[in-house]
Structure 1
Amino acid sequence: MAHMSPEEFRKQGHAAIDWIADYWTGLDELPVLSQVAPGAVRRSLPASPPETAEPFDALLADLDELVVPGLTHWQHPRFFAYFPANSSPAAILGDLVSSGIGAQGMIWATSPAVTEIEQVVVDWLAQALGLPEQFRLTDYGRGGGVIQDTASTATFTALLAALHAASDGTARESGVGARKWAVYGSSQAHSSLVKAAMMAGLGAESVRSVEVDPVTQAMDVTSFERLLADDIDDGWTPLFVQAAVGTTSTGAIDDVQAIAEAIDGVGAWLHVDAAWAGVAAVCPEHRDRLLSGVHLADSIVTNPHKWLLTTFDCSVLWVRDRSTLIDALTITPEYLRNPASESGAVVDYRDWHPQLGRRFRAMKLWAVLRTYGLEGLRAHIRDGVDLAAYVEELVADDERLELVTARSLSLVVFRHVGGDEPTLSAMHRLNASGVAYLSHTVVEGRAAMRLAVGSWRTTRADIDTTWAELQRAL
């Protein structure tokens, strides 16, 4: 068996980087949404693996023919669906370095630099966003942050910590028990909240869907207070409340301060899901709106991999008291015991989430923070907001269209005044054209299109091109 020599690796590495650069160069000309039929990619591949080794350049040669046609291009400048999954040259190079190092950062001893760079980077990000100091690990205070894969895992992790705290530690030993635990989120909360309850053994029925204001789509706190009181009267124990700062559907922002006040004295854990919108707090002008009441939360999550130029996956969870999280998840088999961990002087991040193994994710976030600087990151966020404001103006000037909710940062939600059929038909025609890709939602029973700006390659010309195609589709 022959491994790549350093010289061959260098050659093929250059070729791979060249391919990526060429891909970016030609990306504007590709259809955003993949045009292949179901099963087409699978049928194009051999039914069995090769018996003999193939050169790496054979794989590179297949990318354009076999892979690219089957891609929906998330890095395309006219990808406006869902939320962006930003990448950037700096993040890719950071991820490449991480892969090259190939370290396993499950505990401090397995690679001290992996842990300590992550400690610094998540504190840097907390500082950049203006998060309260209680969430920082600086000087080994009570709080701290950890890089997870996605916000779904972060929500599940926070729920496990909440269950540990509320059960006085008995849940980790004997399960959830007979007590009726209740979990709360608005009707617009991310579906990962229900999945977290399912995985924690609480069941989907433990999750309460709170009504939202029909105009803002934010949680109706009065309805929440009423539901909370009814549950307590019926013998339920409020366990976990998720406040959304930027919902997936419309970008709605819940009143975290009011929600925190509603559960004062109840004992429930308050988690803030700011997966998409949270990174916009890097711009001081957005902080009052995004961070109001966050100082009262027990945990908060945001995703640099959505709108902060960091290659997927990179989701940062901060907790106000890391001891609760660590106590909920710590298990130490003999093969992980080591003097550094037992000294109490280090952080072992394997105790901060369900997984034992963990990648050096901090490397790509470190690369982004250093090569863009806060000025560059602010400029990127502001560009997205400005372009979305331009879309908002275009919608307002077209008598066939109407805004469904007020623009939320870089997200515009709008529809055809004629109803669901013309709204969805226009969107599907636009997507099928390959010029751009939008996704949809349903707000108060009516379909709407969502246009979320976020790519580092999107320009005003891309908005104009998309809008011209939408005009033909209407």
Structure 2
Amino acid sequence: MKLIIGVNNNIQSIPSSSSLSIRFTIDCWLLRRIIQTSHRTQFREVRAEKCSVLTLIYSFFDSSDNELKPMDAEQLREHAHKMVDFIADYYKNIEDFPVLSQVEPGYLQNLLPESAPLNPESLQSVLDDVQKKIFPGVTHWQSPNYFAYYPSNSSIAGFLGEMLSAAFNVIGFSWVTSPAATELEMIVLDWLAKLLKLPDDFLSSGNGGGVIQGTASEAVLVVLLAARDRALRRFGKDYLKKLVVYASDQTHSALQKACQIGGIHPENCRWLKADISTNYALSPDVLSEELSRDTARGLIPFFLCATVGTTSSTAVDPLPELGTIAKRHEMWFHVDAAYAGSACVCPEYRQYIDGVEEADSFNMNLHKWFLTNFDCSALWIKDRHALIRSLSTNPEFLKNKASEAELVVDYKDWQIPLGRRFRHLIPCLNDELRL
């Protein structure tokens, strides 16, 4: 084992056979923490220089009996088989567990030590702790007896895909960081678009394309930002306070949060009342009346969100009529099909997204009815350049020849974070495996 020390960004490696003395300053509270938790640290001298800072001389001695080593291939097989057995037993008996956790808030604090363990523990010991201490605090979403939110949204093929994704551990923010990650995502999203019979404008062969976001909330946020910036390029950056968003009061709260992040004034967010007379869908007449009032006041309608399967009432907004209105007012038209979109791959349910042809963007959650592990939300957009103009950054450390030649897709410019997981292996295996 080696001691790795960072001093002023210079990394020094000290062999395990070495004895080492270093002089450095440390806050009193941190020193107390080290003394309390480390029985292998031998302090030769502690000398106070200031009331809040101590200087200490620290000696490091290696102990080979607890040397940390990575698993080799055979140990991986052994431990992975044990973990798979644990998971298989869990799924075999999942319906026997109480669906809703019965613990009180803060229960886990009394079951775990105050500090992280100093030495490694066996996998069996960890699994025993999971069984005794973690299981009581788990709400079993995959239980056949769980009916809240969006239950049973996983599959064996899905978490096999997770295993493979975790093994590669690709951070595929640009094409060059792992070409297969980018190109497979493009292909899988094109497959899904064709299954849904989305317009060709949403395919990667044109100006649009698909991208996997973590959640529908992220999808709604990025398209709202793209729509905002498109409007500001048209009207001028000083018109932000005049931009207005429209949706029904059944729309997911993610849109409200996106408006807050995007700087849309709260008074310019129109949550239009939907009632039983329309099965809680957004009424085109109510929308048109609100648009007339706003334009008469000099406000600028710029974003309309329709929902296919609202969270509270499963309402489906009338996409053809809303799309026509959005086009007339030159608004960005987004369709949030996070809940019900997956069902629309079935011909008998495709009717629920009729009218998507007029949409600028469309999202659905693969981690709901598509039996794909969370988090995996598909977003398609007709004009990917609108998204890229809003979200692209290109510092020196991200530059590469393929990107600069505009030969490839870099998904870092389609999302909020830089890093991204190899998520599309999960729906890909879901589609390929027949278990």
Common fold: TM-score over 0.5: yes
Match of 1:82 among 139, 149, 156: 149
Q: Supply the AA of the counterpart residue of 1:234.
A: R
Q: Supply the AA of the counterpart residue of 1:161.
A: A
**What does residue 19 of structure 1 align with?**
86
**What does residue 217 of structure 2 align with?**
152
Q: Supply the AA of the counterpart residue of 1:162.
A: A
1:321 aligns with 2:372: no
Residues of 2 paired with 1:84 and 1:124: CA distance? 25
Match of 2:345 among 282, 290, 293: 282
Counterpart mapping for 1:225-304 below 5 A:
225-288=288-351, 290-304=352-366
Cα gap change, 1:205 to 1:59, in 2 (>3 Å): farther
1:306 aligns with 2:368: yes
Percentage identity across aligned positions? 43
User: For the Cα contact (< 8 Å) 2:327–2:358, is it kept in 1?
Assistant: no
Deviation at 1:5, TM superposition (A): 2.2
Residues of 2 paired with 1:273 and 1:35: CA distance? 35
Counterpart mapping for 1:340-419 below 5 A:
340-372=402-434
Which deviates the most, 202-211 or 349-358?
A: 202-211
User: For the Cα contact (< 8 Å) 2:244–2:270, is it kept in 1?
Assistant: yes
Residues of 2 paired with 1:230 and 1:202: CA distance? 18
**What does residue 114 of structure 2 align with?**
47
CA RMSD in angstroms, aligned pairs only: 1.6
Residues of 2 paired with 1:209 and 1:170: CA distance? 24
Q: Supply the AA of the counterpart residue of 1:264.
A: K
**What does residue 34 of structure 1 align with?**
101
1:218-275 deviation per Cα after TM superposition (whole angstroms, max 9, x unaligned): 0111111111111111121111110010000110000011111122331110000100
Deviation at 1:85, TM superposition (A): 5.5
1:189 aligns with 2:270: no
Structure 1 counterpart SS, 2:276: coil
Higher relative contact order, chain-length normalized (CA < 8 Å, sep 6+)? 1
Q: Supply the AA of the counterpart residue of 1:292.
A: D
Residues of 2 paired with 1:205 and 1:10: CA distance? 58
Residues of 2 paired with 1:302 and 1:104: CA distance? 23
Unaligned 5+ runs, structure 2: 1-67
1:106 aligns with 2:173: yes
Match of 1:214 among 260, 276, 284: 276
Cα gap change, 1:169 to 1:145, in 2 (>3 Å): farther
Cα gap change, 1:277 to 1:6, in 2 (>3 Å): same
Match of 1:143 among 192, 196, 208: 208
Deviation at 1:179, TM superposition (A): 3.7
Cα gap change, 1:347 to 1:170, in 2 (>3 Å): farther
Q: Supply the AA of the counterpart residue of 1:235.
A: G
Structure 2 counterpart SS, 1:307: coil
Residues of 2 paired with 1:178 and 1:347: CA distance? 30
Residues of 2 paired with 1:281 and 1:344: CA distance? 34
Deviation at 1:169, TM superposition (A): 7.5
Cα gap change, 1:297 to 1:356, in 2 (>3 Å): same
**What does residue 330 of structure 1 align with?**
392
Residues of 2 paired with 1:178 and 1:24: CA distance? 51
Structure 2 counterpart SS, 1:27: helix
Q: Supply the AA of the counterpart residue of 1:45.
A: L
1:70 aligns with 2:137: yes
User: What is the TM-score with the length of structure 1 in the denominator?
Assistant: 0.75
**What does residue 97 of structure 1 align with?**
164
Residues of 1 paired with 2:249 and 2:73: CA distance? 54
Deviation at 1:349, TM superposition (A): 0.4
**What does residue 261 of structure 2 align with?**
199
User: For the Cα contact (< 8 Å) 1:98–1:363, is it kept in 2?
Assistant: yes
**What does residue 6 of structure 1 align with?**
73
Runs of 4+ that moved beyond 3 A: 176-179
User: For the Cα contact (< 8 Å) 1:197–1:206, is it kept in 2?
Assistant: no
Aligned residue-pair number:
367
Deviation at 1:59, TM superposition (A): 1.2
Cα gap change, 1:328 to 1:79, in 2 (>3 Å): same
1:436-468 deviation per Cα after TM superposition (whole angstroms, max 9, x unaligned): xxxxxxxxxxxxxxxxxxxxxxxxxxxxxxxxx
Deviation at 1:170, TM superposition (A): 8.8
Structure 1 counterpart SS, 2:328: coil
